[in-house]
Structure 1
Amino acid sequence: MEGKLEIYVDHEKVCEHEILPGNCRVSKKKEHFQGLLSEILKENSKCKKNSQIPLKFSGPEVEKRSLDVYETFSQGGFE
């Protein structure tokens, strides 16, 4: 067809768009997007319900000791 782009899958036409004159033009058909946003939102909410937090952060393990140890070290101890 003149002035139209037809897309076929297994010999079945799945969509058709008008070829627009000029450069960088976009041709959209609203019916191609109908219901798409609601489906995306549904999928995202399913993922949130089923997902677990993939990362767990915890503080480093630190040795607990008396401050006297640091006092001894600062006075030249532990050589």
Structure 2
Amino acid sequence: MEDFVSPLPGVWHELHQRLMDFWTNDLNKMGIKPPIPLILAGWNFSSDYEKRDRWQATLKWAEERCCTHLIKELSDEEKYFG
């Protein structure tokens, strides 16, 4: 059985844009930005462990700022499994 690692790059990018909009508009750019998604070259040169770790950091960032509602539930087609 394969384990969920992270969203696929296109989905991850979309979710990151939502979090960046929240950081810009709702948090007035206060504090640290949401973690940068591992997409494009970052995807190709990152291990599954690094992808999972960055995704978990993204979820933690959203939880700490009470904006997990911006992260939609992912379908299996939107998930990357290692």
TM over 0.5: no
TM-score range, shorter chain: under 0.3
Point out the structure with the larger strand share. 1
Q: How does the TM-score come out when normalised to structure 1?
A: 0.25
Q: Which entry has the higher C-alpha Rg, 1 or 2? A: 1
Point out the structure with the larger helix share. 2
The structure with higher relative contact order (CA 8 Å, sep 6+) is 2
Q: How does the TM-score come out when normalised to structure 2?
A: 0.24
